[in-house]
DNA sequence: TAATATGATTATGT
DNA sequence: ACATAATCATATTA
């Protein structure tokens, strides 16, 4: 820094007029090794006090810098930067890293449980346990982090002092000290990353244990299943509620739209897989809806061909009477015929259960007699 | 306690 | 984005 006018280190130092030449000083330094210790101490002191010492020191520093940089400057670290960022974000999102404040509104609710069918109904009852454990983890995390940081600070000041001490007898530039400090920080941040990683793991485990909705499954209320089943069986030939219908069902049953979707997905597949098992339920609900006007609002959707029998019976199936309904239903569901001469153009009509799986239960040809045998699988 | 029912998730296809 | 099929994990029942 100080020696600015120097163009090249190798040639003999350009002697400036009026200044004592540095080669003398160098000579003296070289001679130090030949001296006895006491003598050397004295000489060292004298050299330290020499008025050319700072300039010489900086020259030496620069020379060293040149050689060191070519060796150490290659390895620019920070490949795990992205990972560190991910960990930080996650800890932030989970509320582990939050700056000790109350404001925990958006972070957890927004980023954490973005899954559509996440944890809809019971949010705060089951989660108190989770919160307690989480705060425990947070506490440990912060205390460990604090420990690491303190150790890092102490070590850094120690090394800095040491280097400054040594800079009296060997060329140690401020830049070098800086590099050393950043190297120390790098090592400590590697340790911190391990801490963050294990904290993340702990949080994830906790999440999956206490927060995963699957583990705390609650059956729907009677009301909800009622509403859902009514819709399902009254739209048995097209059990695909529109978005509006889903919302309506969700509202009526006190569940979320995603839950309605889940329910219909499960219901369709399970009904199709083993229709025999659902016959009893079917008759119940089909009889129910025959008298009950549970019109789940279907303002302007596929009603084009479904609403045909609306005048006589509310359901999409021709249900003359409760007694007949059973047989009619069976023949319809097991043989899947198009309902009379109605609207055939819609493929959804009854084709949602096409590709009949390979249920040995569904007898090859409709044998309406053995109803119960098929049920008792 | 084993078997079954059930809500949710995941993989895959359209 | 939604549907299906398979699967997971819990709840309920026999």
Q: Could you list the pLDDT tens digit for every one of the 377 residues in chain A?
A: 433 343 444 444 444 555 667 888 878 777 766 667 787 788 778 877 888 878 877 887 788 777 766 655 445 555 667 777 778 877 876 777 765 444 333 333 333 333 333 343 344 445 666 677 778 788 888 899 899 999 999 999 999 998 888 887 788 888 888 888 999 999 998 888 888 888 877 777 676 666 665 667 889 999 999 999 999 999 999 999 999 999 999 999 999 999 999 999 999 999 999 999 998 899 988 877 665 544 443 333 333 333 333 333 333 333 333 333 444 444 444 434 333 333 333 344 456 876 555 544 444 433 433 333 333 33
Encoding tokens for residue A285? 């609900």
8 Å CB contact between A281 and A229: yes
Work out if A243's Cβ lies within 7 angstroms of strand C.
yes
pLDDT score of A68: 65
Task: Give the rounded distance of the alpha carbon of A311 from its chain centre.
Answer: 52
Query: Distance in angstroms, CA of A347 to C1' of C12?
Result: 38
The answer to whether A277 CB sits below 7 Å from nucleic acid chain B is: yes
For strand C, which nucleotides have at least one atom less than 7 Å from a protein CB?
2-12
User: What's residue A194's pLDDT?
Assistant: 87
Which residue is it, tokens 């053995």?
Answer: A370
Cβ of residue A213 lies below 7 Å from strand B? yes
A9 CB-to-strand C distance under 7 Å: no
CB-strand contact A272/C, under 7 Å: yes
Distance CA A6, CA A92 (A): 51
CA of A322 to C1' of B6 (A): 28
Q: Give this prediction's pTM.
A: 0.48
Distance (Å) from CA A219 to C1' B13?
30
* Predicted local confidence at residue A116, as pLDDT: 38
Written as six digits, the tokens of A135 are: 């705060």
CA atoms within 13 A on the CB side of A297: 10
A117 touches strand B (CB under 7 A): yes
Tell which residue, A314, A302, A78, has the closest CA to residue A190: A78
CA of A335 to C1' of C2 (A): 27
Asked whether strand C has any atom less than 7 Å from the CB of A266, the reply is yes
Q: Please state, in angstroms and rounded to a whole number, the distance separating the CA atoms of residues A233 and A205.
A: 41
For residue A8, the model assigns a pLDDT of 41
Task: Answer whether any strand C atom is within 7 A of the Cβ of A117.
Answer: no
The strand B neighbours among A residues 168-197, by Cβ under 7 Å, are none
Cβ contact A262 with chain B strand, < 7 A? yes
Write down the pLDDT at residue A99. 54
A155 is near strand C: CB distance < 7 Å: no
Per this entry, what is the length of chain A? 377
Report residue A231 as tokens. Answer: 């819709």
Q: What is the dihedral of CA A107, A111, A115, A121, to 10 degrees?
A: 0
A323-327 long-range contacts, Cβ below 8 Å, gap at least 24?
A325/A283, A325/A286, A325/A287, A326/A279, A326/A283, A327/A368
Which of the nucleotides in strand B have any atom less than 7 Å away from a protein CB atom? 4-10
The tokens describing A186, both together, are 């790098």
Nucleotide nearest to A217 (CA to C1'): C10
Using CA atoms, how far apart are residues A317 and A342, in angstroms rounded to an integer?
11
């Amino acid at each position: 820094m100080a020696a600015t006018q120097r163009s090249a280190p190798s040639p003999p130092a350009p002697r400036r007029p009026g200044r004592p030449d540095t080669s003398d000083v160098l000579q003296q330094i070289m001679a130090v090794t030949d001296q006895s210790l006491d003598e050397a101490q004295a000489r060292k002191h004298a050299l330290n006090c020499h008025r050319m010492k700072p300039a010489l020191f900086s020259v030496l520093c620069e020379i060293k810098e040149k050689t060191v940089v070519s060796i150490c400057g290659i390895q620019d670290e920070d490949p795990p930067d992205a990972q560190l960022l991910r960990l930080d974000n996650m800890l932030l999102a989970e509320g582990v890293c939050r700056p000790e404040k109350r404001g925990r509104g958006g972070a957890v609710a927004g980023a954490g449980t973005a899954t559509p069918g996440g944890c809809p109904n019971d949010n705060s009852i089951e989660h108190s346990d989770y919160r307690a454990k989480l705060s425990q983890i947070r506490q440990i995390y912060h205390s460990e982090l604090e420990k690491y940081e303190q150790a890092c600070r102490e070590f850094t000041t120690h090394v800095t002092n040491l280097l400054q001490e040594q800079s009296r007898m060997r060329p140690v530039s401020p830049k070098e000290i800086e590099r050393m400090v950043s190297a120390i920080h790098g090592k400590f941040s590697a340790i911190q990353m391990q801490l963050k990683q294990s904290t993340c793991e702990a949080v994830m485990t906790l999440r999956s244990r206490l927060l995963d909705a699957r583990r705390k499954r609650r059956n729907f209320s009677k009301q909800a299943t009622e509403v859902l089943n009514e819709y399902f069986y009254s739209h048995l030939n097209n059990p695909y509620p529109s978005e509006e219908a889903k919302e309506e069902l969700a509202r009526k049953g006190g569940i979320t739209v995603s839950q309605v979707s889940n329910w219909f997905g499960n219901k369709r597949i399970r009904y199709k897989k083993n229709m025999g098992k659902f016959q009893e339920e079917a008759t119940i609900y089909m009889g129910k809806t025959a008298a009950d006007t549970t019109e789940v609002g279907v303002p302007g959707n596929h009603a084009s061909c479904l609403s045909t029998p609306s005048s006589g019976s509310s359901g999409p199936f021709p249900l003359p009477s409760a007694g007949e309904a059973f047989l009619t239903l069976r023949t319809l569901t097991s043989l899947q015929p198009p309902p009379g001469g109605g609207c055939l153009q819609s493929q959804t009509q009854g084709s949602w259960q096409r590709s009949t799986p390979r249920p040995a239960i569904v007898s090859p040809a409709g044998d309406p007699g053995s109803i119960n045998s098929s049920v008792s699988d």
